Amino acid sequence: MAAGEVGLQAIRYSRGRLQLLDQRKLPLETIYIDVYDSSGGWHAIQDMVVRGAPAIAIAAALSLAVEAVNLETKPTSLDEALHFLHTRLDHLVTSRPTAVNLLDAATKLKNKTSDAALRTSNAAEILVVYVDAAEAMLAADIASNKAIGDYGADLISGQSKRDGKLSVLTHCNTGSLATAAYGTALGVIRSLNLQGKLNTVYCTETRPFNQGSRLTAYELVYEKIPAVLIADSAAAALQSSGKIDAVVVGADRIASNGDTANKIGTYNLALAAFHHGIPFYVAAPLTSIDTALSSGDSIVIEERSSKELTHSHAGHGPQVAASGISVWNPAFDITPAKLITAIITDKGIITKPEGSLVFDILGFLNAHVVSNISNGDLNCRQEESGSDHDEKFYILNSATIIQYIKKHSSLASKLGSPESDWKVQEVGDGNLNFVYIVEGTAASFVLKQAVPYVRCVGESWPMTPDRAYFEAITLKKHGALCPQHVPEIYHFDRTMSAIVMQYLEPPHIILRKGFIKGIYYPCLAEHMSEYMARTLFFTSLLAISTTTHRSAVAEFCGNVQLCRLTEQVIFTEPYMESSNNRWTSPQLDEDVRALRDDEILKVEVAGLKAK
């Protein structure tokens, strides 16, 4: 085999069949275990048959895909299909809670199937959508790892002070056995080797489960990459010898400031590298980043069996420690961002702002991921695409809306024939989005489209149109909880950022306009209370599991720009001099002065903002 070729497979998959390489048996035996359902996937992850954050996520997703394909009794309704998939995904997440890739994959798959439920009433189609999405994750992981490898190799070789080939130290196993293929940190090393820039890779044994000596060494020997195995306790001495040009490790979870959870012992390596002035790199896909966490202090650290320390062979051999000794065996540790030189991702390199000890990961995501959505390249969230057609985003208008509706037979049939009688009226009531009322002979509906900027301002205020996705899933979920007060969703197209929903015909009008006209609404408080009680309660920890709640929080943290906009225009700018206030001046100048002079209101707003 040529150096760098990927010959090892931790995951063997074909539709309806999944086999996982039992990594507990390596390097002496190569045995694949058949996984027939999500329960088997859960146990394979928990028992470390499969390990490595990316591989765990893919194995979990595919175990449920196999179960869905081979179901003898299929769900007969959308609710049954979604319940079947989502409850199993929630259970799979509990198998390895520290690995954020698993939670991220489960969230994306739930979003994908929920998206599909907006467009179909066929339960069998939901299962197909899930299986297709899980298989797409397998292919995407391989492409992601290769991108990480290339970015990392260029970075390390470009920043090295040494002429000639480089020597790199790594920890745990982050190669083909920890991912779908190729690897993250070991993928960087593999790319360095392919480019002819690698002298030697040093790998730690990685006690107590010995992933380095059992797995990484196995991969390196298998692929004929020049390598040296060292004891964990020799790492600092090796770095002091001057032989190491860089340290590169993987990650199980990365907080939004760059604090990184990885295999126990990573922190030790980072401290030693910092002391000896050696660059310390973390290599991981964007799916390893948990934007819901501001720092590593909130990362849950899994503790494993005491037998891994008291017995040989990672807990499976004879006892080697004194009976009665207490054991502390954390599986991971947290490396502070200040010790990390850069984070290598599948979308590029994340570095720290000048003079900062931490990373601005949200800024990187906005610049490198969110901006792609605004530019029409929606593939950065490819697992969640909601379009029924292979079309690119374009801004709809009164003329193109008719053509758009014709492409979607469910919408056309709702309006009725003939098409010549269809009427489109731009309402213009939205500050953020374009809103149209479409009338037909049989029915009418509202079409709302989010465009890559704030509608009432224009292109000078860019904003991702992905906000439509969050609005659509919220309306769908809230509609199920409180249908009497939420308009029905007929259609959602993620590529076009378009929502088609129920039109409440006159005498219904927009509430804001009713208030301006002085209309009295005797049931308003009752209806709002009913809506808020049902939607807030049934989406809170009082009604749902911690895993489901955490997944929902992680999902909606993706709506970063709209959250920032709300904070900006509601809680900040009205109370200060701001360039954006030009949109309300001079017509609201007197009201603004009244707001700024209202000390009680300022205190109340400050209290809300603090929450």
Which residue is associated with the tokens 């985003």?
393
Rg (the chain; Cα; Å): 27
Which residue is associated with the tokens 């224009």?
458
Which range (173-182, 241-250, 492-501) has the least confidence? 173-182
Q: Is 546 exposed, middle or buried (0-12, 13-18, 19+ CB in 10 A)?
A: exposed
Which tens digit of pLDDT belongs to each residue from 142-172?
Answer: 888 899 999 999 999 998 878 889 999 999 9
The C-alpha atoms of residue 598 and residue 210 are separated, in whole angstroms, by 64
- Token pair belonging to 206: 């990685």
Which tens digit of pLDDT belongs to each residue from 381-395?
Answer: 333 333 343 457 888
Decide if 44 contacts 51 (C-beta within 8 A).
no
pLDDT of residue 334: 97
pLDDT of residue 372: 38
Q: Does position 375 have pLDDT exceeding 50, yes or no?
A: no
* Amino acid at the residue 373: I
* Amino acid at the residue 95: S
The C-alpha atoms of residue 559 and residue 566 are separated, in whole angstroms, by 11
Decide if 184 contacts 63 (C-beta within 8 A).
no
The C-alpha atoms of residue 128 and residue 113 are separated, in whole angstroms, by 9
pLDDT of residue 119: 77
Q: How far is CA 190 from CA 182, 294, 602, in A?
A: 8, 32, 57
pLDDT of residue 108: 87
pTM: 0.57
The C-alpha atoms of residue 591 and residue 60 are separated, in whole angstroms, by 56
Closest by CA position to 24, among listed 58, 42, 47, 56: 47
Alpha helices in 339-428 (DSSP H): 361-365, 371-374, 398-407, 409-415
pLDDT of residue 114: 84
Calculate mean pLDDT across residues 104-124.
Answer: 85
Which tens digit of pLDDT belongs to each residue from 250-292?
Answer: 998 999 999 999 999 999 999 999 999 999 999 998 888 887 7
The C-alpha atoms of residue 106 and residue 93 are separated, in whole angstroms, by 7
DSSP reduced 3-state for 539: coil
Decide if 569 contacts 579 (C-beta within 8 A).
no
Q: Which tops the pLDDT comparison, 599 or 366?
A: 599
Average pLDDT across the chain, whole number? 85
User: Percent helix, strand, coil in the chain (nearest 5)?
Assistant: 45, 15, 35
Q: Which helix (H) or strand (E) holds 60?
A: helix 53-69
How many other C-beta atoms can be found within 10 angstroms of the C-beta atom of residue 531?
16
Decide if 130 contacts 109 (C-beta within 8 A).
yes
CA 20, chain centre distance (Å): 24
- Token pair belonging to 496: 């076009």
- Token pair belonging to 300: 């849950």
Which range (39-43, 78-82, 576-580) has the least confidence? 576-580
The C-alpha atoms of residue 575 and residue 578 are separated, in whole angstroms, by 9
Q: How confident is the model at residue 377 (pLDDT cuts 50, 70, 90)?
A: very low
Which residues are CB-neighbours of 479 under 8 A, at least 6 positions away?
486, 487, 488, 489
Pairing of strands 198-204, 166-170: parallel
Any idea what the Cα angle at residue 584 is, between residues 580 and 585, rounded to 5°?
100
pLDDT of residue 42: 94
Q: Does position 308 have pLDDT exceeding 60, yes or no?
A: yes
Which tens digit of pLDDT belongs to each residue from 429-484?
Answer: 667 888 999 999 999 999 999 888 877 777 777 777 878 888 888 888 888 888 88
Q: Which tops the pLDDT comparison, 413 or 273?
A: 273
The C-alpha atoms of residue 531 and residue 509 are separated, in whole angstroms, by 19
Closest by CA position to 93, among listed 305, 373, 302: 302
pLDDT of residue 342: 97
Q: How confident is the model at residue 568 (pLDDT cuts 50, 70, 90)?
A: confident
pLDDT of residue 298: 83
Q: Does position 547 have pLDDT exceeding 80, yes or no?
A: no
Sheet holding 17-21, edge to edge: 11-14, 17-21, 32-35
Q: How confident is the model at residue 303 (pLDDT cuts 50, 70, 90)?
A: confident
pLDDT of residue 163: 80
Which residues are tagged catalytic? Answer: 252
* Amino acid at the residue 34: D
The C-alpha atoms of residue 442 and residue 177 are separated, in whole angstroms, by 58
Calculate mean pLDDT across residues 288-299.
Answer: 85
pLDDT of residue 371: 38
Which range (195-209, 235-249, 451-465) has the least confidence? 451-465
pLDDT of residue 5: 45
The pLDDT > 70 percentage for the chain reads: 90
Phi, psi angle pair for 247, to nearest 5°: -115, 130
Q: How far is CA 245 from CA 159, 198, 238, 441, in A?
A: 10, 10, 11, 72
Q: Is 254 exposed, middle or buried (0-12, 13-18, 19+ CB in 10 A)?
A: buried
How many other C-beta atoms can be found within 10 angstroms of the C-beta atom of residue 118?
20
- Token pair belonging to 466: 């992905």
* Amino acid at the residue 101: N
Q: How confident is the model at residue 247 (pLDDT cuts 50, 70, 90)?
A: very high
The C-alpha atoms of residue 448 and residue 435 are separated, in whole angstroms, by 4
Residue 311: DSSP 8-state: B
Q: How far is CA 587 from CA 57, 566, 573, 591, in A?
A: 54, 22, 16, 9
Decide if 169 contacts 212 (C-beta within 8 A).
no
The C-alpha atoms of residue 301 and residue 331 are separated, in whole angstroms, by 7
The pLDDT > 90 percentage for the chain reads: 43
The C-alpha atoms of residue 310 and residue 315 are separated, in whole angstroms, by 7
pLDDT of residue 571: 66
Q: How far is CA 130 from CA 110, 122, 476, 556, in A?
A: 8, 13, 19, 21
- Token pair belonging to 533: 């009680």
Phi, psi angle pair for 204, to nearest 5°: -80, 155
Which range (10-19, 246-255, 538-547) has the least confidence? 538-547
